[in-house]
Structure 1
Amino acid sequence: MMKKIIQITSGRGPAECNFVVTNVFKRFQEACTENDIQFSIIEREIDKDFNLITSIILEVEGESLDNFLNDWIGTILWIGKSPYRKFHQRKNWFIGCFELEIPKENQINSNEIVYQTMRSSGNGGQNVNKVNSAVRATHKRSGISVVSMESRSQYQNKKIATTRLLLKLEEENSKHLKNSIQEKWINQTSIERGNPVKIFRGEKFLSS
Protein backbone atom coordinates (compact mmCIF):
# COMPACT_ATOMS: atom_id res chain seq x y z
CA MET A 1 0.00 0.00 0.00
CA MET A 2 1.37 3.40 -1.00
CA LYS A 3 2.17 5.92 1.73
CA LYS A 4 2.88 9.66 1.49
CA ILE A 5 3.22 12.64 3.82
CA ILE A 6 1.46 15.87 2.90
CA GLN A 7 1.13 19.32 4.43
CA ILE A 8 -1.84 21.69 4.16
CA THR A 9 -0.72 25.21 5.08
CA SER A 10 -1.85 28.82 5.06
CA GLY A 11 1.67 29.91 4.12
CA ARG A 12 1.83 32.48 6.93
CA GLY A 13 -1.27 34.10 5.48
CA PRO A 14 -3.88 36.08 7.44
CA ALA A 15 -6.62 34.62 9.64
CA GLU A 16 -8.82 34.10 6.58
CA CYS A 17 -6.24 31.68 5.15
CA ASN A 18 -6.17 29.75 8.44
CA PHE A 19 -9.96 29.61 8.20
CA VAL A 20 -9.55 28.08 4.74
CA VAL A 21 -6.98 25.51 5.92
CA THR A 22 -9.32 24.42 8.72
CA ASN A 23 -12.28 23.94 6.38
CA VAL A 24 -10.29 22.41 3.53
CA PHE A 25 -8.92 19.85 5.98
CA LYS A 26 -12.53 18.87 6.79
CA ARG A 27 -13.21 18.40 3.07
CA PHE A 28 -9.98 16.43 2.73
CA GLN A 29 -11.07 14.10 5.56
CA GLU A 30 -14.38 13.50 3.80
CA ALA A 31 -12.61 12.77 0.52
CA CYS A 32 -10.28 10.29 2.24
CA THR A 33 -13.25 8.43 3.72
CA GLU A 34 -15.03 8.30 0.36
CA ASN A 35 -11.91 6.93 -1.38
CA ASP A 36 -10.79 4.45 1.32
CA ILE A 37 -7.68 6.51 2.07
CA GLN A 38 -6.33 6.17 5.59
CA PHE A 39 -4.74 9.19 7.22
CA SER A 40 -3.00 10.07 10.47
CA ILE A 41 -2.26 13.54 11.84
CA ILE A 42 1.50 13.89 12.37
CA GLU A 43 1.67 17.54 13.36
CA ARG A 44 -0.86 20.35 13.70
CA GLU A 45 -0.21 24.06 14.33
CA ILE A 46 -3.04 26.22 15.72
CA ASP A 47 -3.23 30.00 15.73
CA LYS A 48 -3.71 31.78 19.07
CA ASP A 49 -6.42 34.23 18.01
CA PHE A 50 -9.17 32.09 16.47
CA ASN A 51 -8.08 28.50 17.30
CA LEU A 52 -7.76 27.72 13.59
CA ILE A 53 -5.31 25.41 11.85
CA THR A 54 -2.36 27.25 10.30
CA SER A 55 -0.60 24.10 9.14
CA ILE A 56 -1.26 20.37 9.35
CA ILE A 57 0.97 17.46 8.33
CA LEU A 58 -0.68 14.14 7.49
CA GLU A 59 0.47 10.64 6.66
CA VAL A 60 -1.86 9.16 4.04
CA GLU A 61 -2.06 5.56 2.84
CA GLY A 62 -4.13 3.83 0.22
CA GLU A 63 -4.40 2.31 -3.22
CA SER A 64 -4.14 4.68 -6.22
CA LEU A 65 -2.87 7.37 -3.85
CA ASP A 66 -1.19 9.33 -6.65
CA ASN A 67 -4.48 9.67 -8.53
CA PHE A 68 -6.25 10.80 -5.38
CA LEU A 69 -3.61 13.39 -4.46
CA ASN A 70 -3.49 14.81 -8.00
CA ASP A 71 -6.69 16.65 -7.12
CA TRP A 72 -5.18 18.14 -3.95
CA ILE A 73 -1.45 18.79 -4.34
CA GLY A 74 -0.83 22.41 -5.31
CA THR A 75 -2.56 25.73 -4.67
CA ILE A 76 -6.13 25.66 -3.33
CA LEU A 77 -8.44 28.66 -3.71
CA TRP A 78 -11.40 29.63 -1.56
CA ILE A 79 -13.71 32.29 -2.96
CA GLY A 80 -15.66 33.91 -0.17
CA LYS A 81 -16.15 36.92 2.05
CA SER A 82 -13.87 37.35 5.04
CA PRO A 83 -15.55 36.02 8.21
CA TYR A 84 -13.42 38.39 10.31
CA ARG A 85 -13.29 41.68 8.38
CA LYS A 86 -16.80 42.70 7.38
CA PHE A 87 -15.89 45.38 4.86
CA HIS A 88 -12.76 43.73 3.43
CA GLN A 89 -12.93 43.70 -0.37
CA ARG A 90 -10.75 40.67 -1.02
CA LYS A 91 -12.62 37.48 -1.89
CA ASN A 92 -9.85 35.19 -3.19
CA TRP A 93 -7.89 33.34 -0.48
CA PHE A 94 -5.08 30.92 -1.31
CA ILE A 95 -3.55 28.07 0.69
CA GLY A 96 -1.16 25.28 -0.29
CA CYS A 97 -1.15 21.49 -0.18
CA PHE A 98 2.32 19.99 -0.58
CA GLU A 99 3.99 16.60 -0.49
CA LEU A 100 6.86 16.24 1.99
CA GLU A 101 9.75 13.84 1.83
CA ILE A 102 9.09 10.68 3.84
CA PRO A 103 11.72 10.30 6.60
CA LYS A 104 14.03 7.35 6.00
CA GLU A 105 13.28 5.00 8.86
CA ASN A 106 16.06 2.60 7.85
CA GLN A 107 18.66 5.20 8.87
CA ILE A 108 17.62 4.70 12.51
CA ASN A 109 17.95 1.32 14.17
CA SER A 110 14.69 0.24 15.76
CA ASN A 111 16.45 -0.45 19.05
CA GLU A 112 17.36 3.25 19.25
CA ILE A 113 13.69 4.07 19.91
CA VAL A 114 12.06 3.37 23.27
CA TYR A 115 8.26 3.29 23.56
CA GLN A 116 6.27 4.00 26.70
CA THR A 117 2.51 3.73 27.06
CA MET A 118 0.46 6.09 29.22
CA ARG A 119 -3.08 7.28 29.73
CA SER A 120 -4.32 9.72 27.14
CA SER A 121 -5.52 13.09 28.36
CA GLY A 122 -8.91 14.13 27.04
CA ASN A 123 -12.25 15.41 28.20
CA GLY A 124 -13.47 13.91 31.45
CA GLY A 125 -15.48 10.74 31.12
CA GLN A 126 -14.13 9.74 27.74
CA ASN A 127 -13.06 6.12 27.34
CA VAL A 128 -9.72 7.34 26.06
CA ASN A 129 -8.81 8.21 29.67
CA LYS A 130 -9.45 4.68 30.97
CA VAL A 131 -6.82 2.82 28.96
CA ASN A 132 -3.13 3.28 28.35
CA SER A 133 -3.56 4.16 24.67
CA ALA A 134 -1.14 7.11 24.43
CA VAL A 135 2.43 6.36 23.35
CA ARG A 136 5.66 8.25 24.01
CA ALA A 137 8.53 7.52 21.60
CA THR A 138 12.05 8.50 22.68
CA HIS A 139 15.24 8.41 20.64
CA LYS A 140 17.80 7.16 23.15
CA ARG A 141 20.90 8.69 21.59
CA SER A 142 19.54 12.23 21.21
CA GLY A 143 16.97 12.21 23.99
CA ILE A 144 14.33 13.62 21.61
CA SER A 145 10.86 12.54 22.68
CA VAL A 146 7.36 12.89 21.20
CA VAL A 147 3.90 11.79 22.32
CA SER A 148 0.87 10.63 20.34
CA MET A 149 -2.57 10.41 21.95
CA GLU A 150 -4.79 11.23 18.97
CA SER A 151 -6.16 7.71 18.56
CA ARG A 152 -7.91 5.32 20.95
CA SER A 153 -5.73 2.60 19.43
CA GLN A 154 -2.34 2.07 21.06
CA TYR A 155 -1.04 0.55 17.82
CA GLN A 156 -2.11 3.59 15.81
CA ASN A 157 -0.60 5.98 18.37
CA LYS A 158 2.69 4.06 18.22
CA LYS A 159 2.69 4.38 14.44
CA ILE A 160 1.97 8.13 14.60
CA ALA A 161 4.58 8.67 17.32
CA THR A 162 7.23 6.86 15.25
CA THR A 163 6.62 9.02 12.17
CA ARG A 164 6.46 12.16 14.31
CA LEU A 165 9.78 11.24 15.98
CA LEU A 166 11.48 10.56 12.65
CA LEU A 167 10.37 13.95 11.34
CA LYS A 168 11.62 15.59 14.53
CA LEU A 169 14.99 13.88 14.19
CA GLU A 170 15.30 15.12 10.61
CA GLU A 171 14.52 18.65 11.72
CA GLU A 172 17.25 18.44 14.36
CA ASN A 173 19.83 17.22 11.90
CA SER A 174 21.75 20.32 10.79
CA LYS A 175 23.58 18.34 8.10
CA HIS A 176 20.38 18.01 6.08
CA LEU A 177 19.15 21.57 5.63
CA LYS A 178 17.05 20.55 2.68
CA ASN A 179 15.02 18.17 4.83
CA SER A 180 11.48 18.62 6.11
CA ILE A 181 12.10 21.66 8.32
CA GLN A 182 13.39 23.68 5.36
CA GLU A 183 10.71 22.24 3.13
CA LYS A 184 8.01 23.20 5.62
CA TRP A 185 9.35 26.74 5.88
CA ILE A 186 9.39 27.13 2.08
CA ASN A 187 5.86 25.78 1.87
CA GLN A 188 4.62 28.20 4.52
CA THR A 189 6.19 31.27 2.95
CA SER A 190 5.77 30.74 -0.78
CA ILE A 191 2.34 29.75 -1.99
CA GLU A 192 1.91 30.27 -5.71
CA ARG A 193 -1.29 32.08 -6.59
CA GLY A 194 -3.01 31.17 -9.79
CA ASN A 195 -3.89 27.89 -11.50
CA PRO A 196 -5.39 26.33 -8.36
CA VAL A 197 -5.87 22.56 -8.39
CA LYS A 198 -9.09 22.93 -6.41
CA ILE A 199 -11.58 25.76 -5.86
CA PHE A 200 -14.06 26.04 -3.00
CA ARG A 201 -16.80 28.67 -2.75
CA GLY A 202 -18.89 30.22 -0.01
CA GLU A 203 -19.43 29.46 3.65
CA LYS A 204 -20.25 25.80 2.92
CA PHE A 205 -16.99 25.30 0.98
CA LEU A 206 -18.67 23.80 -2.05
CA SER A 207 -16.19 22.43 -4.56
CA SER A 208 -16.30 23.65 -8.15
Structure 2
Amino acid sequence: MSEIILHLTSGCGPDECRWVVGQLAVAFGKEARDAGLSCELLEGYDGLPYSLLLRVNGEGAMAFATARAGTILWIGDSPFRPHHRRRNWFVGVAIAPQPESMIDLKEEDIDYQAMRASGPGGQHVNKTDSAVRATHRPTGLITTAQEQRSQHANRKLARLKLALLLEERREQSQAQGRTAEWTFHKQLERGNPVRTYAGPRFTVRR
Protein backbone atom coordinates (compact mmCIF):
# COMPACT_ATOMS: atom_id res chain seq x y z
CA MET A 1 0.00 0.00 0.00
CA SER A 2 1.35 3.40 -0.99
CA GLU A 3 1.07 6.59 1.03
CA ILE A 4 1.21 10.05 -0.49
CA ILE A 5 0.97 13.40 1.28
CA LEU A 6 -0.70 16.22 -0.64
CA HIS A 7 -0.02 19.84 0.29
CA LEU A 8 -2.88 22.20 -0.56
CA THR A 9 -2.02 25.90 -0.42
CA SER A 10 -3.71 29.22 -1.08
CA GLY A 11 -0.37 30.90 -1.77
CA CYS A 12 -0.83 34.62 -1.20
CA GLY A 13 -4.39 34.52 -2.42
CA PRO A 14 -7.28 36.24 -0.63
CA ASP A 15 -9.76 34.67 1.79
CA GLU A 16 -11.64 33.13 -1.12
CA CYS A 17 -8.58 31.05 -2.01
CA ARG A 18 -8.23 29.94 1.60
CA TRP A 19 -11.89 28.92 1.55
CA VAL A 20 -11.27 26.94 -1.64
CA VAL A 21 -8.42 25.07 0.08
CA GLY A 22 -10.80 23.82 2.77
CA GLN A 23 -13.53 22.91 0.29
CA LEU A 24 -11.03 21.22 -2.02
CA ALA A 25 -9.89 18.97 0.83
CA VAL A 26 -13.50 17.80 1.18
CA ALA A 27 -13.80 17.26 -2.58
CA PHE A 28 -10.56 15.30 -2.72
CA GLY A 29 -11.73 13.13 0.16
CA LYS A 30 -14.90 12.18 -1.73
CA GLU A 31 -12.98 11.55 -4.94
CA ALA A 32 -10.50 9.35 -3.07
CA ARG A 33 -13.26 7.26 -1.51
CA ASP A 34 -14.91 6.86 -4.92
CA ALA A 35 -11.56 5.57 -6.21
CA GLY A 36 -11.25 3.06 -3.38
CA LEU A 37 -8.62 5.08 -1.53
CA SER A 38 -8.51 6.51 1.97
CA CYS A 39 -7.93 10.23 2.39
CA GLU A 40 -7.20 11.72 5.80
CA LEU A 41 -6.74 15.31 6.87
CA LEU A 42 -3.56 15.33 8.93
CA GLU A 43 -4.51 18.34 11.03
CA GLY A 44 -7.73 19.97 12.04
CA TYR A 45 -8.31 23.64 11.34
CA ASP A 46 -10.57 26.49 12.32
CA GLY A 47 -11.65 29.22 9.96
CA LEU A 48 -9.83 29.70 6.66
CA PRO A 49 -6.67 27.59 6.26
CA TYR A 50 -3.70 28.92 4.35
CA SER A 51 -2.66 25.34 3.67
CA LEU A 52 -3.63 21.77 4.52
CA LEU A 53 -1.99 18.35 4.43
CA LEU A 54 -3.89 15.30 3.17
CA ARG A 55 -2.68 11.71 3.47
CA VAL A 56 -3.84 9.48 0.62
CA ASN A 57 -3.48 5.73 1.07
CA GLY A 58 -4.12 2.77 -1.17
CA GLU A 59 -3.27 1.20 -4.50
CA GLY A 60 -3.25 4.00 -7.01
CA ALA A 61 -2.54 6.77 -4.50
CA MET A 62 0.35 8.12 -6.56
CA ALA A 63 -1.73 8.29 -9.75
CA PHE A 64 -4.51 10.04 -7.79
CA ALA A 65 -2.06 12.59 -6.37
CA THR A 66 -0.22 13.18 -9.64
CA ALA A 67 -3.48 13.93 -11.46
CA ARG A 68 -4.20 16.69 -8.93
CA ALA A 69 -0.74 18.21 -8.45
CA GLY A 70 -0.41 21.68 -9.90
CA THR A 71 -2.86 24.54 -10.37
CA ILE A 72 -6.46 24.01 -9.31
CA LEU A 73 -9.08 26.48 -10.51
CA TRP A 74 -12.43 26.99 -8.82
CA ILE A 75 -15.02 29.00 -10.72
CA GLY A 76 -17.70 30.57 -8.58
CA ASP A 77 -18.97 33.64 -6.79
CA SER A 78 -17.09 34.81 -3.72
CA PRO A 79 -18.67 33.42 -0.55
CA PHE A 80 -17.59 36.60 1.28
CA ARG A 81 -18.08 39.41 -1.27
CA PRO A 82 -21.36 38.80 -3.13
CA HIS A 83 -20.86 41.65 -5.60
CA HIS A 84 -17.22 40.92 -6.34
CA ARG A 85 -16.70 40.56 -10.10
CA ARG A 86 -13.93 37.98 -9.93
CA ARG A 87 -15.06 34.36 -10.41
CA ASN A 88 -11.77 32.53 -11.00
CA TRP A 89 -9.89 31.47 -7.85
CA PHE A 90 -6.58 29.61 -7.97
CA VAL A 91 -4.95 27.35 -5.38
CA GLY A 92 -1.98 25.02 -5.55
CA VAL A 93 -1.57 21.33 -4.88
CA ALA A 94 1.81 19.64 -4.55
CA ILE A 95 3.08 16.23 -3.51
CA ALA A 96 4.93 16.80 -0.25
CA PRO A 97 8.60 15.81 -0.11
CA GLN A 98 9.66 12.65 1.67
CA PRO A 99 11.76 13.72 4.67
CA GLU A 100 13.89 10.58 4.39
CA SER A 101 15.11 11.63 0.94
CA MET A 102 16.19 15.13 1.96
CA ILE A 103 19.94 15.26 2.57
CA ASP A 104 19.65 18.48 4.61
CA LEU A 105 17.12 16.97 7.02
CA LYS A 106 19.07 14.42 9.02
CA GLU A 107 17.35 12.77 11.95
CA GLU A 108 20.34 13.44 14.20
CA ASP A 109 19.92 17.19 13.57
CA ILE A 110 16.38 17.27 14.95
CA ASP A 111 15.48 17.73 18.62
CA TYR A 112 12.04 16.42 19.59
CA GLN A 113 10.18 17.59 22.67
CA ALA A 114 6.96 16.01 23.93
CA MET A 115 4.30 18.40 25.18
CA ARG A 116 0.66 18.51 26.19
CA ALA A 117 -1.71 18.83 23.24
CA SER A 118 -4.23 21.63 23.50
CA GLY A 119 -6.59 23.77 21.49
CA PRO A 120 -8.72 22.86 18.44
CA GLY A 121 -8.06 19.36 17.18
CA GLY A 122 -6.19 18.22 20.27
CA GLN A 123 -9.07 17.43 22.59
CA HIS A 124 -8.70 13.67 22.31
CA VAL A 125 -5.08 13.79 23.51
CA ASN A 126 -5.23 16.58 26.07
CA LYS A 127 -4.47 14.26 28.97
CA THR A 128 -1.27 12.86 27.52
CA ASP A 129 2.02 14.34 26.31
CA SER A 130 1.43 13.15 22.75
CA ALA A 131 2.05 16.46 21.00
CA VAL A 132 5.54 17.02 19.61
CA ARG A 133 7.71 20.06 18.95
CA ALA A 134 10.53 19.49 16.46
CA THR A 135 13.53 21.82 16.22
CA HIS A 136 15.96 21.63 13.30
CA ARG A 137 19.21 22.72 14.92
CA PRO A 138 21.15 23.78 11.77
CA THR A 139 18.45 26.26 10.71
CA GLY A 140 16.53 26.93 13.92
CA LEU A 141 13.24 26.02 12.23
CA ILE A 142 10.55 24.79 14.64
CA THR A 143 7.33 22.91 13.95
CA THR A 144 4.66 21.37 16.16
CA ALA A 145 2.17 18.55 15.65
CA GLN A 146 -0.64 17.45 17.92
CA GLU A 147 -3.52 16.18 15.78
CA GLN A 148 -2.41 12.54 15.60
CA ARG A 149 -3.30 10.16 18.42
CA SER A 150 0.19 8.90 19.19
CA GLN A 151 3.45 10.67 19.94
CA HIS A 152 5.13 8.61 17.22
CA ALA A 153 2.65 9.80 14.57
CA ASN A 154 2.99 13.43 15.71
CA ARG A 155 6.77 13.11 15.59
CA LYS A 156 6.50 11.94 11.98
CA LEU A 157 4.15 14.82 11.13
CA ALA A 158 6.42 17.40 12.77
CA ARG A 159 9.33 16.13 10.68
CA LEU A 160 7.24 16.36 7.53
CA LYS A 161 6.48 19.99 8.37
CA LEU A 162 10.20 20.66 8.72
CA ALA A 163 10.71 19.16 5.26
CA LEU A 164 8.09 21.53 3.84
CA LEU A 165 9.73 24.53 5.53
CA LEU A 166 13.17 23.58 4.22
CA GLU A 167 11.79 23.17 0.71
CA GLU A 168 10.11 26.57 0.98
CA ARG A 169 13.44 28.11 2.03
CA ARG A 170 15.10 26.70 -1.07
CA GLU A 171 12.34 28.12 -3.26
CA GLN A 172 12.70 31.50 -1.58
CA SER A 173 16.42 31.49 -2.31
CA GLN A 174 15.83 30.56 -5.95
CA ALA A 175 13.22 33.29 -6.26
CA GLN A 176 15.95 35.88 -5.51
CA GLY A 177 14.21 37.83 -2.82
CA ARG A 178 10.62 37.08 -3.74
CA THR A 179 8.75 34.85 -1.31
CA ALA A 180 8.13 31.30 -2.49
CA GLU A 181 4.41 31.51 -1.77
CA TRP A 182 3.96 34.67 -3.82
CA THR A 183 6.01 33.28 -6.71
CA PHE A 184 4.03 30.06 -6.58
CA HIS A 185 0.74 31.91 -6.55
CA LYS A 186 1.67 34.05 -9.58
CA GLN A 187 2.78 30.92 -11.42
CA LEU A 188 -0.58 29.35 -10.60
CA GLU A 189 -2.48 32.22 -12.18
CA ARG A 190 -0.38 32.10 -15.33
CA GLY A 191 -0.41 28.33 -15.69
CA ASN A 192 -3.07 26.06 -17.07
CA PRO A 193 -5.06 24.38 -14.28
CA VAL A 194 -4.76 20.62 -14.06
CA ARG A 195 -8.33 20.45 -12.75
CA THR A 196 -11.22 22.88 -12.73
CA TYR A 197 -14.14 22.87 -10.28
CA ALA A 198 -17.25 25.00 -10.43
CA GLY A 199 -20.05 26.06 -8.14
CA PRO A 200 -20.75 25.49 -4.45
CA ARG A 201 -20.76 21.72 -4.90
CA PHE A 202 -17.29 21.75 -6.47
CA THR A 203 -18.41 19.94 -9.63
CA VAL A 204 -15.50 18.87 -11.83
CA ARG A 205 -15.42 20.48 -15.25
CA ARG A 206 -14.01 18.30 -17.99
Please say whether Structure 1 and Structure 2 have the same fold, judged by a TM-score greater than 0.5.
yes
- Find 2:185's aligned residue among 188, 191, 197: 188
Look up the match of 1:71: 67
Q: CA deviation at 1:31?
A: 3.3
Query: CA 1:151 to 1:192, structure 2 compared with 1: closer, same or farther past 3 Å?
Result: same
Query: CA 1:112 to 1:100, structure 2 compared with 1: closer, same or farther past 3 Å?
Result: closer
Report percent identity of matched pairs.
Answer: 39
Mapped pair 1:26 → 2:23: no
Q: CA deviation at 1:52?
A: 1.3
Mapped pair 1:167 → 2:168: no
- Find 2:79's aligned residue among 80, 83, 88: 83
1:74 maps to amino acid: G
Look up the match of 2:37: 36
Whether the 8 Å CA contact 1:94–1:193 is kept in 2: the answer is no
Whichever structure has more helix as a proportion of its residues is 2
Mapped pair 1:126 → 2:109: no
Q: CA deviation at 1:101?
A: 4.5
**Normalising to structure 1: TM-score of the pair?**
0.73
Q: How many aligned residue pairs are there? A: 201
| CA distance in 1 between partners of 2:179 and 2:95 (Å) | 13
Deviation string 1:38-80 (CA, Å, 9 cap, x unpaired) is: 55648x8x9xxxx312333556554323311243123222222
**Normalising to structure 2: TM-score of the pair?**
0.73
Look up the match of 2:149: 152
Q: CA deviation at 1:15?
A: 2.5
CA RMSD after TM alignment: 3.7
Query: CA 1:148 to 1:126, structure 2 compared with 1: closer, same or farther past 3 Å?
Result: closer
Q: Secondary structure at the match of 2:118?
A: coil
